[in-house]
Amino acid sequence: MTRVAILGGGTGGAVLANDLAERLGAEIDAGDVEVTLINDGPDHVYKPVWLYVPFGQREPADGRRPLSELVDERVTLTVDRATAIDTERKSLALADGDALEYDYLVVATGSTLADGEIPGLAEGGHDYYSESGALALREELLSMTEGHLVLSVVGTPHMCPAAPLEFVFMADDWFRERGLRDAIDITYTYPVQRVHGNPHIAEWAAPLMEERDIDVETFFNAESVDPDAKVIGSMEGTEIEYDLLAAIPPHRGVDVVEEAGLGDRGWVDVDKHTLEAEAADDVYALGDAATTGVPKAGSVAHYQAGVVSQRIASEIRGRPATATYDGKTLCFIETGMDAASFVEFDYESPPSPAPPSEKLHWSKLAYNESYWLTARGLL
């Protein structure tokens, strides 16, 4: 029997599990292939929902479904946490004491927040990259009638690179709708000398921020936060006072990845086209966990899952694995409470954001609702 283990039940892991179940259905039914999905909790979480929670447009429950309802019944679902990866013996150690052997391993462990790396950030800032952070930020926004809102991108790379831009555009519009914008200043900080890591998106976003009176502080590498004084300071010596700090914390992968020698900071070093791990045989990585140079976005994980599924199925059937990932990424970018843009790009073609429109905003909301069909492998 050929055993495929998928570590992580986020977008990439769930889509891959369902794709493999469909692609290798005959082999699974015959008992020749086993696909196991390991996740450290029973639920699948669609994290883009958290962007809308601070503005009262969604609840965290809207982005949560039991994995058992999303994953094909031909997939073995194991709710447990991997404590070690042995790529030589092709084995996973699990927290409950069991060991799981594999022939192919796919690492889809996503991103974790590391706000503890910046002194004072956990106490002085709020994020919307976690359920608890989004709920706390909602309470702060609802009580804010004047003052200074600072959005600081502290760490890169991070999940959903467009989300910091989306937040300040939505906050600007949200405060205007409530008649509060004249009493509230908004500042956006970014670690490099532009407003986004991708120069094409930065070139598009900067004029919009100027039009909306959103102050920008680039080349601001946050070093510390003083929660009592409400000041965020940078390595460059700049200090910004705030009344409410919304921060994008540093992101890291999971420890077991680094401990297994698959890559630094919990990210797996891979071939950006085949998604094969550079440090181990028969190991793939996708989504946030893979260092491909493309954004850590759900669409990336989705497209990469299809490639990995095709490659593993080809190898199991003794055929050459020819499927490759071309860097395809697509993303909706909210530019307010009722307008959005859209970008699509790959390794060869740079992004060119579409003019913001209400139609694209509703398209994004429609995709958020239909996402659960995507996770099930139906779209």
Per residue in 181-204, pLDDT tens?
Answer: 999 999 999 999 999 999 999 999
Is the link from the previous residue into 157 a cis peptide, with omega within 30 of 0?
yes
- Tell whether the model's pLDDT for residue 170 goes beyond 90: yes
Residue range 154-168, pLDDT digits in tens:
988 999 999 999 999
Q: Rounded CA gap, 287 and 312, in Å?
A: 17
Q: If pLDDT is split at 50, 70 and 90, which confidence band does 378 have?
A: low
Residue range 106-124, pLDDT digits in tens:
999 999 999 999 999 999 9
pLDDT at 375: 84
Q: Give the DSSP letter string of 148-209.
A: EEEEEE-SSS-BSTTHHHHHHHHHHHHHHHTT-GGGEEEEEE-SSSSSSSSHHHHHHHHHHH
Q: Rounded CA gap, 276 and 22, in Å?
A: 22
pLDDT at 379: 59
Residue 44, classed as helix, strand or coil, is: strand
Instruction: Compute CA 153 distance to the chain's CA centroid, rounded to the nearest angstrom.
Output: 15
Q: Rounded CA gap, 73 and 226, in Å?
A: 50
Q: If pLDDT is split at 50, 70 and 90, which confidence band does 232 have?
A: very high
Q: Are 191 and 271 in contact (CB under 8 A)?
A: no
Task: Give Cβ neighbours of residue 96 (< 8 Å, ≥ 6 apart).
Answer: 80
Q: Are 86 and 93 in contact (CB under 8 A)?
A: yes
